[in-house]
Amino acid sequence: MEKQSDKVLSIKGLTKRYGDKLVLDEIDLDVYKGQIIGYIGPNGAGKSTTVKIMLGLEGSYEGDVEIFGESIKENNVDYKYRIGYVPEMADIYDNLSAREYLSFTGELYGLEPEKAETKARELMKIFDLEEVYDSRISSYSKGMKQKVLLISSLLHDPDLLFLDEPINGLDANSVMIFKEILAKLSEQGKTIFYSSHIMEVVEKISSRILLLNEGKIVADGSFEELRQKNKEGSLEEIFNQLTGFKEYKDLSEEFVQIVQRDKT
Amino acid sequence: MKNFNTLKLLDLFKVFFEKAGIDYRMMRRILQVKLTMDGRRTSTVMSQNMGSNKKSDQNQFLKSLWFYAFIGLTLVPILFVGDNYMFQVSVITGVFMFLIMTTMISDFSSVLLDVRDQTILGTRPVNSKTISASKAMHVTIYLFFITVAIISTSLIIGTIRHGILFGVLMVLTILFSDLFILAITAMLYYVILKFFGGERLRDMINYVQIGLSITIVLGYQVVARAFEFVELEAQFTPEWWTLLLPPVWFSAPFAVVLNGETGTYYFILSALAVIVPVLSFVAYAKILPRYEENLVKLMDQTTKRSKQKRFDLFKRIASLATRSKEEHAFYRFAEKMLKNERELKLKIYPSLGFAMIFPFVFLYNNYSAAGSFDVLGEGRSYLSIYAALMMIPGVVIMLQYSSKNKGAWIYHVTPVTDLTNSIKGTLKALLIRLFLPLFSVLSIIYTVIFGIRIVPDLLIVFLVTFIYSVLCFKLIKGTLPFSEPFESSTQSDGWKTLPFVLLIPIFGLIHLGATFIPFGVWIYLLLAIVMTPLIWKLGLKRSPSV
């Protein structure tokens, strides 16, 4: 369906082991321009490992990973000019102010220091953070930190975005802005890799959903396609079904019983 | 962001870095950020005394250099002890290496072990060579400063006294020992990370930090007395085990070149002095890539589940020592905090070390006066054990702090009616889990020196400790335990404890007075047994409102 030249990311036979444990099992995946991929799966399914490999944080794996048509093993720096990343754990040099941090990361992408700084300031203003631009990030709230991370990942206008729980801590209004930004970016042909545990959001924003379970892709398609195939109403239910999780009723009942035990 | 002078200096070597395939501009920028951040944190050496003048961006590290320079100054007299270079250089490099190693571990582990670099720099278009280089340069910059601070005085005076050749050898020696330490520290981390994981490494670093703090205070004591030993014979006899001591390797070239020593022994040592640092550095460079990979383990918070013992002595003690459920809960909580919170340990454990040592400092003075152990054993010098109480005000004042102070909301949302229990429980945990073991050891040693007769006196001291700690609790005036950030601790905290420390000699004098009255000690003991619970009851009372 898609043209070969629009292929942004291509993974073939990706396998990763930690010791004896198989984390990723022969993953094949092609991602095309403009797609918003909702990348979901239970804890420990191998989501972050995949993302780490694509970001070049994890060096030892079997299989091929090509980004923008080039193997990331052979050329492990240049593709990074065109990607952006929001880490799940808010890893950030929080002793710096937002100004210092953002101009620094901007420069790492080769932006001019002054340009990076003005650009960052304008973006901060949109998120209503202009007053704290020169305060240390360590004094920020969770949501404010998250906004800084978002800005930092987008400052150099990347073509491929990796977002790991990007709306963690954001208020509803900021989430609204953020969702719109993603939609706009995808319209312009940017590709977004979105991992999250919040199914409602993934369901709404993704043009394609990938469900990973025990190191394998168990579902791949738009939300509509998944719904037809699995005859379930919401992504949450599809998720439960495909990951084989049925005991939630029993478990929740047991939980409540234990809570109410020994009450005097 | 400042344009650091250090970096301007580094610019001179730009060509070398670029030749090595490093993106110099990028490395410089990373270093600039790192140095800026360092200016905003405190070093272990200074954190003991420094308040929180965090506002200024001035690098605390540069201030701590004066401290190292002072230690360096104390090395100078060694240069004048005889003409045996084996002795002089061994001692100097020994002290030097010890200082560098401990500082590396205590203050720069954060540099070597920063996992944020992985996500922040690793995902950006910077080649890994540049990242490693900036990490290495970051440490090197500090290593350079500390080295210069410690050694330059000795180097200059040594060169004047022993000649240019000595100076040249010294510079080379210091260079090689720095190389050696950098490599083995990194490899030590590598090995620990590989086999034990992150938590264990963090614990180890914590203990080194504690050790460093103790050593530095002790160092003052030792240095003050060191001049008594100046007369000591500076002879050096080759033994096989000296082959295992790196400072001895480094001194061998001096003996060969300047003392004209020959023989296989000296040649082996000199060879070791060159080969081992070079080899360890090569090994370090080899494992560096895998080192970064193992660093990821630091992010891994999982620890092995500890086995639940069927009979837990400390649990029993907790139930025996506390009177209500609430007090019990706080006791157990404080117990865990004191055991697990690294920053709290860093502030408290050194004081414990001092509490262990100070009684002996006083005892030593009395011993010098008495002349023999027998005379000492018959006297009343056992009252020097009161010196162990000196730790209590400082530790009590620390009980209000925690690096995770935000967790204190738990006090306010739980239906705890009487916060007196929180204080009682915390204080009991401190006295029973930290002070009692230490006091027991002291008591045993003292009983050996002074005989069974002092047992009632020791009991009195123990009870007095309980009374004294209640008084000390007035210091923190109603602040809840572990509820303030360490940053809010100030210089004045130290001054505040002073009047309380001065109470100790008063307790000691009362005790001394009692020993002159017939049965005075027994009466005092009886009094203490009656008074202690009363004082605990009345002294710690506080209104239920927070």
Q: What is the CATH number of the domain that holds A186?
A: 3.40.50.300
Exposure string of B359-395, with b = 16+ CB inside 10 Å and e = fewer, is bbeebeebbeebeeeeebbeeebbbbbbbbbbbbbbb
Closest listed residue to residue B429, CA positions, set B406, B478, B396, B380: B396
Contact B294, B187 (CB under 8 A): no
Q: Are residues B322 and B224 in the same domain?
A: no
* Interchain CB distance below 8 Å, A77 and B1: no
Estimate to the nearest angstrom the gap between the alpha carbon of B27 and the chain centroid.
32
Answer whether residue B444 is part of any domain: yes
For chain B positions 163-202, those within 8 Å of chain A (CB to CB) are: none
State whether B389 and B240 are in the same domain: no
Q: Report residue B511 as tokens.
A: 């005790």
Same domain? B272 vs B319: no
Residue B272 shares a structural domain with residue B327: no
- B190 falls within a domain: yes
Based on the fold, state whether residues B266 and B330 are members of the same structural domain: no
Total tally of structural domains belonging to chain A: 1
Chain B residues 10-29 within an 8 A CB cutoff of chain A: 26, 29
DSSP A97: B
Residue B293 CA, chain-centre distance (Å), reads 29
Q: Measured between beta carbons, which residues in chain B are less than 8 angstroms from residue A59?
A: 293
Q: Is the pLDDT of residue B42 over 60?
A: no
B18 part of a folded domain: no
pLDDT at B440: 92
Nearest CB partner across the interface for A77, out of B1, B41, B125: B125
B232: pLDDT strictly greater than 60: no
* Residue among A221, A192, A140 nearest A33 (CA): A192
Whether residue B489 is predicted with pLDDT greater than 70 in this model: the reply is no
Whether the predicted pLDDT of B502 surpasses 90: no
| Interface membership of B121 toward A (CB under 8 Å) | yes
Three-class SS state of A24: strand
When pLDDT is cut at 50, 70 and 90, the band that residue B545 belongs to is very low
* Per-residue pLDDT, B459: 92
The per-residue pLDDT for A19 is 74
Closest partner CB to A85 (pick from B1, B41, B123) = B123
* Predicted confidence (pLDDT) at residue B124 exceeds the cutoff of 80: yes
On whether any CB of chain B is under 8 Å from the CB of A43, the answer is: no
User: What's the pLDDT tens digit per position in B48-103?
Assistant: 444 444 444 455 667 778 888 888 888 888 788 767 777 788 888 888 888 888 77
List chain B residues with CB under 8 Å of A89: 119, 299
| Averaged pLDDT, A213-228 | 84
Are the CB atoms for A24 and A50 separated by under 8 Å?
yes
- Residue A121: pLDDT band (50, 70, 90) is very high
Nearest residue on chain B to A113, alpha-carbon basis: B29
Question: Do B289 and B319 lie in a common domain?
Answer: no
pLDDT value, residue B41: 64
Burial of A40 (0-12, 13-18, 19+ CB in 10 A): buried
Same domain, B235 and B338: no
Strand ranges, E, within chain A: 7-18, 21-32, 36-40, 62-67, 70-71, 83-86, 160-164, 191-195, 208-213, 216-221
- A80 and B1 within 8 Å at the Cβ level: the answer is no
Res B55: pLDDT: 42
Residue A174, domain extent: 4-260
Report residue B118's pLDDT band, with 50, 70 and 90 as the boundaries.
confident
CA distance B424 to B422: 6
Q: What is the total residue count of chain A?
A: 264
- What letter represents residue A192's amino acid? I
d(CA B211, CA B232): 28
Could you tell me which residue, B156 or A43, shows the higher pLDDT?
B156
Given pLDDT bands bounded at 50, 70 and 90, which one contains residue A183?
very high
In a domain, B52, yes or no: no
A152-161, A218-227, B117-126, B473-482, range with the lowest pLDDT: B473-482
pLDDT at B2: 75
Q: What are the tokens at B539?
A: 């002294």
Q: Which pLDDT belongs to residue B221?
A: 61
**B161 in contact with A, Cβ within 8 Å:** no
CB contact, 8 Å: A109 with chain B? yes
Averaged pLDDT, B360-381: 79
Task: Provide the pLDDT confidence category of residue A160 given band limits of 50, 70 and 90.
Answer: very high
Question: pLDDT by residue (tens digit) across B262-320?
Answer: 788 888 888 888 899 999 888 887 777 677 666 666 665 555 555 566 567 777 888 88
As a dihedral over the C-alpha atoms of residue B44, residue B49, residue B54, residue B60, rounded to 10 degrees, the angle is -50
> Domain of B197?
63-299
B122 → closest Cβ in A57, A104, A105: A57
Q: Mind spelling out the 3-state secondary structure of A112-166?
A: CHHHHHHHHHHHHHHCCCHHHCCCEHHHCCHHHHHHHHHHHHHCCCCCEEEEECC
Model confidence at B355: pLDDT above 90: no
Q: How far apart are CA B256 and CA B259, in angstroms?
A: 6
Q: Work out the average pLDDT over B117-128.
A: 83
Mean pLDDT for the stretch of residues B394-404: 85
* CA dihedral over B20, B24, B28, B29, signed as positive or negative: negative
Q: Are residues B360 and B258 in the same domain?
A: no
The pLDDT assigned to B458 comes to 92
Q: Does A100 touch chain B (CB under 8 A)?
A: yes
Per-residue model confidence (pLDDT) at position B305? 53
Tokens (6 digits) for B365: 């003075």
| Tally of residues, chain B | 546
B351, B291: one domain: no
- N- to C-terminal Cα distance for chain B? 43
B413 and B512 belong to one structural domain: yes
Same-domain check for residues B294 and B318: no
Q: Looking at residue B54, what is its pLDDT?
A: 43
Question: 3-class SS at B401?
Answer: strand
Q: Could you say which of B37, B118, B299 has the minimum Cβ distance to residue A95?
A: B37
Q: What percent of chain B is modeled with pLDDT above 70?
A: 84
pLDDT of residue B308: 60
Q: Dump pLDDT digits (tens) for A238-261.
A: 888 777 777 778 888 889 988 988
- Please tell me the distance from the alpha carbon of residue B406 to that of residue B411, in angstroms, as a whole number: 11
pLDDT at B309: 61
Contacts of A136 in chain B (CB under 8 A): 40
Interacting residues of A34 by C-beta distance below 8 A, sequence separation 6+: A6, A186, A187, A189, A190, A191, A207
Is residue B247 included in any domain, yes or no? yes
Please count the other Cβ atoms lying within 10 Å of the Cβ belonging to residue B163.
12
What is d(CA B516, CA A233) in angstroms, rounded to the nearest whole number? Answer: 90
Judge: B125–A96 Cβ closer than 8 Å, yes or no: no
- Per-residue pLDDT, B317: 81
Amino acid in position B344:
L
* B3 CB-near residues (< 8 Å, 6+ apart): B32
Split into its structural domains, chain B has a count of 2
The answer to ipTM > 0.90 is: no
* Side-chain half-sphere exposure of A103, counting CA atoms within 13 A: 18
Q: Is B425 helix (H, G, I), strand (E, B) or coil?
A: helix
What digits encode the pLDDT tens for the residues B152-182?
A: 998 999 899 888 988 999 999 999 999 888 8
Within this chain, do residues B451 and B487 fall inside the same structural domain, yes or no? Answer: yes
Confidence band, pLDDT 50/70/90 cuts, at residue B391 = confident
Query: What's the pLDDT at B227?
Result: 46
d(CA B216, nearest CA chain A) in Å: 29
- Other beta carbons within 10 angstroms of residue B221's beta carbon come to 14
The sheet carrying A70-71 orders its strands as: A21-32, A7-18, A62-67, A70-71
Domain C-terminal end among B275, B299, B323: B299
Judged by CB atoms closer than 8 Å, whether chains meet at B26 and A87 is answered as no
Contact of B37 with chain A, judged by CB distance below 8 Å, is answered with yes
Query: Residue B373: is its pLDDT beyond 80?
Result: no
pLDDT (0 to 100) of residue B223 = 54
User: What is d(CA B64, CA B159) in angstroms, rounded to the nearest whole number?
Assistant: 26
